[in-house]
Amino acid sequence: MGSIYLIRHGQASFGADDYDVLSPVGIRQSEALGEHLAHVGVHLDRCVAGDLRRQQDTARLALAAMQRTGCTVPPVDTDIAFNELDADAVIRTLLPGLLADEPEARHILRNGAQHRSEFQRLFALMIQRWHDGEYDCDDIESWATFVERVDGGLQRVLAQASSGENVAIFTSGGTITALLHLVTRITASQAFALNWQIINTSLSQLKYRGREVTLASFNSQAHVQLLRAPELITYR
Protein backbone atom coordinates (compact mmCIF):
# COMPACT_ATOMS: atom_id res chain seq x y z
CA MET A 1 0.00 0.00 0.00
CA GLY A 2 1.04 3.57 -0.60
CA SER A 3 0.75 6.56 1.71
CA ILE A 4 -0.68 10.04 1.27
CA TYR A 5 0.50 12.51 3.89
CA LEU A 6 -1.91 15.39 4.47
CA ILE A 7 0.00 18.37 5.82
CA ARG A 8 -1.67 21.52 7.03
CA HIS A 9 0.25 24.70 6.27
CA GLY A 10 2.31 26.46 8.93
CA GLN A 11 0.88 29.26 11.04
CA ALA A 12 -0.24 32.11 8.81
CA SER A 13 -0.55 35.80 9.72
CA PHE A 14 -3.90 35.85 11.51
CA GLY A 15 -5.07 39.43 12.07
CA ALA A 16 -2.59 40.93 9.58
CA ASP A 17 -3.46 42.70 6.34
CA ASP A 18 -2.34 39.62 4.37
CA TYR A 19 -3.27 36.38 6.11
CA ASP A 20 -1.67 34.28 3.37
CA VAL A 21 1.90 34.75 4.67
CA LEU A 22 3.65 32.39 7.07
CA SER A 23 4.47 33.89 10.45
CA PRO A 24 7.94 33.35 11.95
CA VAL A 25 6.36 30.50 13.95
CA GLY A 26 4.92 29.06 10.73
CA ILE A 27 8.38 29.09 9.14
CA ARG A 28 9.88 27.22 12.08
CA GLN A 29 7.01 24.71 12.13
CA SER A 30 7.57 23.96 8.44
CA GLU A 31 11.29 23.45 8.91
CA ALA A 32 10.69 21.25 11.97
CA LEU A 33 8.32 19.09 9.93
CA GLY A 34 10.89 18.57 7.19
CA GLU A 35 13.59 17.72 9.70
CA HIS A 36 11.27 15.21 11.39
CA LEU A 37 10.27 13.51 8.13
CA ALA A 38 13.93 13.09 7.25
CA HIS A 39 14.77 11.82 10.75
CA VAL A 40 12.10 9.09 10.68
CA GLY A 41 13.08 8.05 7.17
CA VAL A 42 10.05 9.11 5.15
CA HIS A 43 10.87 9.13 1.45
CA LEU A 44 8.56 11.24 -0.70
CA ASP A 45 7.94 10.22 -4.30
CA ARG A 46 5.64 13.13 -5.11
CA CYS A 47 4.52 16.41 -3.54
CA VAL A 48 1.38 18.38 -4.34
CA ALA A 49 0.19 21.72 -2.93
CA GLY A 50 -2.62 24.16 -3.50
CA ASP A 51 -1.58 27.47 -5.00
CA LEU A 52 -2.05 29.54 -1.84
CA ARG A 53 1.17 31.17 -0.69
CA ARG A 54 1.06 29.63 2.80
CA GLN A 55 0.67 26.15 1.30
CA GLN A 56 3.45 26.61 -1.25
CA ASP A 57 5.85 28.14 1.29
CA THR A 58 5.21 25.35 3.80
CA ALA A 59 6.07 22.82 1.12
CA ARG A 60 9.18 24.72 0.04
CA LEU A 61 10.52 25.10 3.58
CA ALA A 62 9.78 21.52 4.64
CA LEU A 63 11.37 20.03 1.54
CA ALA A 64 14.41 22.30 1.85
CA ALA A 65 14.87 21.08 5.43
CA MET A 66 14.73 17.49 4.18
CA GLN A 67 17.27 18.27 1.48
CA ARG A 68 19.70 19.71 4.01
CA THR A 69 19.86 16.28 5.65
CA GLY A 70 20.77 14.65 2.34
CA CYS A 71 17.27 13.51 1.31
CA THR A 72 16.25 13.60 -2.32
CA VAL A 73 12.94 15.40 -2.68
CA PRO A 74 10.57 15.75 -5.64
CA PRO A 75 9.39 19.06 -7.11
CA VAL A 76 6.09 20.48 -5.90
CA ASP A 77 3.15 20.07 -8.28
CA THR A 78 0.31 22.58 -7.91
CA ASP A 79 -3.36 21.61 -7.86
CA ILE A 80 -5.88 24.26 -6.82
CA ALA A 81 -8.27 21.48 -5.77
CA PHE A 82 -6.34 21.53 -2.49
CA ASN A 83 -6.90 25.23 -1.84
CA GLU A 84 -8.73 26.17 1.35
CA LEU A 85 -12.44 27.01 1.39
CA ASP A 86 -13.02 30.75 0.94
CA ALA A 87 -13.53 31.69 4.59
CA ASP A 88 -13.80 35.40 3.81
CA ALA A 89 -16.68 34.73 1.40
CA VAL A 90 -18.42 32.53 3.97
CA ILE A 91 -18.14 35.28 6.57
CA ARG A 92 -19.36 37.99 4.20
CA THR A 93 -22.34 35.89 3.16
CA LEU A 94 -23.46 34.59 6.55
CA LEU A 95 -22.60 37.52 8.82
CA PRO A 96 -25.74 39.59 8.09
CA GLY A 97 -27.98 36.74 9.23
CA LEU A 98 -26.02 36.48 12.46
CA LEU A 99 -26.23 40.09 13.61
CA ALA A 100 -29.72 39.94 15.15
CA ASP A 101 -28.54 37.35 17.69
CA GLU A 102 -24.88 38.44 17.80
CA PRO A 103 -24.80 42.26 17.58
CA GLU A 104 -21.05 42.40 18.32
CA ALA A 105 -20.19 39.88 15.62
CA ARG A 106 -18.95 42.40 13.05
CA HIS A 107 -16.55 44.01 15.53
CA ILE A 108 -15.28 40.65 16.78
CA LEU A 109 -14.67 39.29 13.29
CA ARG A 110 -12.87 42.46 12.20
CA ASN A 111 -10.61 42.24 15.26
CA GLY A 112 -10.17 38.51 15.51
CA ALA A 113 -6.60 38.65 16.83
CA GLN A 114 -7.87 40.48 19.92
CA HIS A 115 -10.94 38.25 20.39
CA ARG A 116 -9.67 34.79 19.44
CA SER A 117 -12.11 32.64 21.41
CA GLU A 118 -15.15 34.68 20.36
CA PHE A 119 -13.90 34.74 16.75
CA GLN A 120 -13.64 30.95 16.78
CA ARG A 121 -17.12 30.56 18.27
CA LEU A 122 -18.71 32.80 15.64
CA PHE A 123 -16.69 31.32 12.78
CA ALA A 124 -17.67 27.78 13.81
CA LEU A 125 -21.32 28.84 13.88
CA MET A 126 -21.09 30.30 10.37
CA ILE A 127 -19.26 27.23 9.07
CA GLN A 128 -22.05 25.04 10.45
CA ARG A 129 -24.68 27.13 8.67
CA TRP A 130 -22.55 27.01 5.51
CA HIS A 131 -22.21 23.23 5.37
CA ASP A 132 -25.90 22.85 6.31
CA GLY A 133 -26.87 25.17 3.44
CA GLU A 134 -28.59 27.70 5.72
CA TYR A 135 -28.04 30.77 3.54
CA ASP A 136 -29.55 32.36 0.45
CA CYS A 137 -26.69 33.09 -1.92
CA ASP A 138 -25.35 31.40 -5.04
CA ASP A 139 -22.15 33.45 -5.16
CA ILE A 140 -20.03 31.30 -2.83
CA GLU A 141 -18.74 27.77 -3.18
CA SER A 142 -21.14 25.45 -1.36
CA TRP A 143 -20.00 22.65 0.93
CA ALA A 144 -21.07 20.09 -1.68
CA THR A 145 -19.10 21.85 -4.41
CA PHE A 146 -16.09 22.23 -2.13
CA VAL A 147 -16.11 18.51 -1.33
CA GLU A 148 -16.46 17.71 -5.04
CA ARG A 149 -13.45 19.92 -5.82
CA VAL A 150 -11.30 18.28 -3.15
CA ASP A 151 -12.39 14.80 -4.26
CA GLY A 152 -11.34 15.66 -7.80
CA GLY A 153 -7.85 16.48 -6.52
CA LEU A 154 -7.68 13.25 -4.54
CA GLN A 155 -8.75 11.20 -7.55
CA ARG A 156 -6.04 12.85 -9.69
CA VAL A 157 -3.41 11.99 -7.06
CA LEU A 158 -4.59 8.37 -6.96
CA ALA A 159 -4.68 8.11 -10.76
CA GLN A 160 -1.08 9.33 -11.05
CA ALA A 161 0.33 7.36 -8.09
CA SER A 162 2.13 4.08 -8.55
CA SER A 163 1.73 1.23 -6.09
CA GLY A 164 3.56 1.86 -2.83
CA GLU A 165 4.43 5.50 -3.48
CA ASN A 166 4.51 8.16 -0.77
CA VAL A 167 2.73 11.39 -1.69
CA ALA A 168 2.68 14.58 0.39
CA ILE A 169 -0.19 17.03 -0.01
CA PHE A 170 0.45 20.48 1.48
CA THR A 171 -2.95 21.99 2.08
CA SER A 172 -5.26 23.56 4.68
CA GLY A 173 -7.53 22.58 7.54
CA GLY A 174 -10.79 22.85 5.64
CA THR A 175 -9.44 20.72 2.82
CA ILE A 176 -8.27 18.05 5.26
CA THR A 177 -11.77 18.17 6.78
CA ALA A 178 -13.34 17.48 3.39
CA LEU A 179 -10.94 14.57 2.86
CA LEU A 180 -11.83 13.12 6.29
CA HIS A 181 -15.49 13.36 5.30
CA LEU A 182 -14.82 11.62 1.98
CA VAL A 183 -12.58 8.86 3.29
CA THR A 184 -14.29 8.00 6.59
CA ARG A 185 -17.91 8.89 5.65
CA ILE A 186 -18.40 10.88 8.85
CA THR A 187 -20.82 13.77 8.64
CA ALA A 188 -19.78 17.33 7.88
CA SER A 189 -20.50 18.31 11.49
CA GLN A 190 -18.34 15.48 12.80
CA ALA A 191 -15.56 16.33 10.36
CA PHE A 192 -15.52 19.98 11.42
CA ALA A 193 -15.47 18.97 15.08
CA LEU A 194 -12.14 17.32 14.20
CA ASN A 195 -11.11 20.30 12.08
CA TRP A 196 -10.83 22.59 15.09
CA GLN A 197 -8.19 20.22 16.55
CA ILE A 198 -5.86 20.28 13.51
CA ILE A 199 -2.63 22.08 14.39
CA ASN A 200 -0.43 23.92 11.92
CA THR A 201 1.89 21.54 10.01
CA SER A 202 0.19 18.51 11.55
CA LEU A 203 0.58 15.24 9.69
CA SER A 204 -2.35 12.98 8.84
CA GLN A 205 -1.80 9.79 6.86
CA LEU A 206 -4.01 8.04 4.34
CA LYS A 207 -3.19 4.57 3.04
CA TYR A 208 -4.23 3.66 -0.49
CA ARG A 209 -4.36 0.66 -2.78
CA GLY A 210 -5.59 1.61 -6.23
CA ARG A 211 -8.64 3.84 -5.61
CA GLU A 212 -9.31 2.40 -2.15
CA VAL A 213 -8.31 4.86 0.59
CA THR A 214 -8.37 4.52 4.39
CA LEU A 215 -7.36 6.81 7.25
CA ALA A 216 -4.24 5.55 9.04
CA SER A 217 -3.49 8.44 11.41
CA PHE A 218 -4.75 11.93 12.18
CA ASN A 219 -3.19 15.21 13.31
CA SER A 220 0.23 13.92 14.39
CA GLN A 221 2.14 16.58 16.34
CA ALA A 222 5.32 14.61 17.02
CA HIS A 223 7.61 16.96 15.09
CA VAL A 224 6.82 19.89 17.40
CA GLN A 225 6.19 17.91 20.58
CA LEU A 226 9.68 16.40 20.43
CA LEU A 227 11.18 19.90 20.33
CA ARG A 228 9.50 20.67 23.66
CA ALA A 229 8.53 24.07 22.29
CA PRO A 230 4.84 24.58 23.12
CA GLU A 231 4.80 27.86 21.22
CA LEU A 232 5.04 25.81 18.02
CA ILE A 233 1.68 24.13 18.68
CA THR A 234 -0.78 26.54 17.09
CA TYR A 235 -4.27 26.21 15.65
CA ARG A 236 -4.57 29.36 13.51
**pLDDT beneath 70: ranges in the chain:** 14-18
The torsion angles phi and psi of 216, rounded to 5 degrees, stand at: -100, -35
Q: What angle do CA 212, 216, 221 make, to 5 degrees?
A: 145
Burial class (CB in 10 A: 0-12, 13-18, 19+), 18: exposed
Q: What is the pTM of this model?
A: 0.93
For residue 115, the model assigns a pLDDT of 84
Give me the half-sphere count of Cα atoms (radius 13 Å) on the Cβ side of residue 157.
37
CATH 3.40.50.1240 placement within the chain = 2-83+143-232
Question: CATH number of 2-83+143-232: 3.30.70.2660, 3.30.300.30, 3.40.50.300, 3.40.50.1240?
Answer: 3.40.50.1240
* Predicted pLDDT at 16: 60
- Burial label for 147, CB within 10 Å (0-12, 13-18, 19+), is buried
For residue 113, the model assigns a pLDDT of: 75
- Cα-flanking dihedrals φ and ψ of residue 101, to 5°? -90, -20
Looking at residue 15, its pLDDT comes to 58
With a CB cutoff of 8 Å and minimum separation 6, the contacts of 29 are 10, 11, 200, 201, 224, 232, 234
pLDDT, residue 98, reads 87
